[in-house]
Amino acid sequence: MQIQEGDGWRLQVDPERRPYSALLGGSDWAVELDAGELGALRQAIRTLLAQRDQLLAILMAEEELDLELDLSLPGLGREISSEGSLFVSLSGSLEQWSLRFVLTPADGSRAAEGAWSAAASQALAAALASLGDALDEAS
């Protein structure tokens, strides 16, 4: 089990726990995610950060950005094999940005929405990146 947390965020991952192997939280909320949902969130944040990095040379420091990504989620490991969606956004300046997500599983099991402050978003993004391939191999 891995537990990482800081001011305004929490990430707990236990690959042995099924079906929800991760707990993701903010200042006043938390939600359990399955391995597919956590993997999709990690990939979405990685993609948005790569897009942000591409804008570093183009935008001035005081300019604002709003990047969004909408992903389809297969019904991994569920009896109903339909798709849901995950929306993730990165908003703010090049240096100070915040993250927000909306999870909408198609099978109706549960949905979630959450957001983090700029400081918490950057720390959470680093924590998700640090999970590395070990999590991918366990899912």
The CATH number assigned to the domain holding 18 equals 2.30.31.10
66, 88 Cβ separation under 8 angstroms: no
- Token representation of residue 4: 């990482």
pLDDT over threshold 70, residue 77? no
Give the angle subtended at the CA of 93 by the CAs of 39 and 102, to the nearest 5°: 35
Average pLDDT, the chain: 89
CA–CA gap between residue 52 and residue 64 (Å, rounded): 11
Average pLDDT over residues 87-110: 91
pTM of the predicted model as reported, rounded to 2 decimal places:
0.87
Average pLDDT over residues 91-96: 93
List the end-to-end C-alpha distance of the chain, in Å, as a whole number: 14
- Number of structural domains found in the chain: 1
Residue 35 domain boundaries: 2-138
Average pLDDT over residues 67-83: 70
Q: Cite the DSSP H helix spans in 1-139.
A: 35-55, 118-130, 132-138
